[in-house]
Amino acid sequence: MGASGGKSRGFAADINITPFVDVVLVLLIIFMVTAPMMTEGIDVRLPETRTVDTLPTEGDHVIVSVTEAGGIYLDADQVELPSLAAALQGRTNAGQRQVFLRADRGVLHGLVVEVMGAIREAGIESFGVVAERTALERP
């Protein structure tokens, strides 16, 4: 009961990293595709204008969105108009965070004014209104 007449097999000293690289590349592609969808927020058709500043990308701002159907969202959470001011006070930390209003172009002007009043009622005197750059002005 000795060794067989063939070659003896030793341990392989190299590491096969091809499957690891494949998995990492697939995960990278998935994150690249889904990350913009996660930051968009509520779907609204923004009004267009010629002069538009870009929305800051840092996380120290709150976005109030008003949909065409009249839904009001504070970031991604739906809120009712009477409770919007209280919810904003809880999220803005005494005015340390910026507030931006995104309203669909089909929303009635009266609802937008009511939302702006609720933002002011929360103690926020200065806030931004988000719009899109007109098609002719886009870079």
The answer to whether residue 25 sits within a structural domain is no
The answer to whether residue 38 sits within a structural domain is no
How far apart CA 5 and CA 120 sit, in angstroms, is 89
How far apart CA 23 and CA 1 sit, in angstroms, is 45
What pTM does this model have? 0.58
How far apart CA 120 and CA 117 sit, in angstroms, is 5
Given this model, what pLDDT does residue 21 score?
92
Q: Residues 129, 45: contact at Cβ < 8 Å?
A: no
Question: Which residue range is the domain that position 53 belongs to?
Answer: 48-133
Average pLDDT over residues 100-129: 85
Residue 80 has pLDDT above 60, yes or no: yes
Residue 104 has pLDDT above 90, yes or no: no
Tally of structural domains, the chain = 1
Residue 64 has pLDDT above 80, yes or no: yes
- Mean predicted lDDT score pLDDT of the chain: 76
Higher pLDDT, 51 or 110: 110
The answer to whether residue 138 sits within a structural domain is no
Residue 12 has pLDDT above 80, yes or no: no
Q: Which residue has the tokens 């701002």?
A: 61
The answer to whether residue 5 sits within a structural domain is no
Given this model, what pLDDT does residue 52 score?
58
Least confident stretch, 1-5, 11-15, 55-59, 126-130? 1-5
The answer to whether residue 39 sits within a structural domain is no
Q: Residues 47, 55: contact at Cβ < 8 Å?
A: no
Query: Domain with 87 in it: what CATH number?
Result: 3.30.420.270
The answer to whether residue 6 sits within a structural domain is no
The answer to whether residue 93 sits within a structural domain is yes
The answer to whether residue 3 sits within a structural domain is no
Per-residue pLDDT band at 123 (split at 50, 70, 90): confident
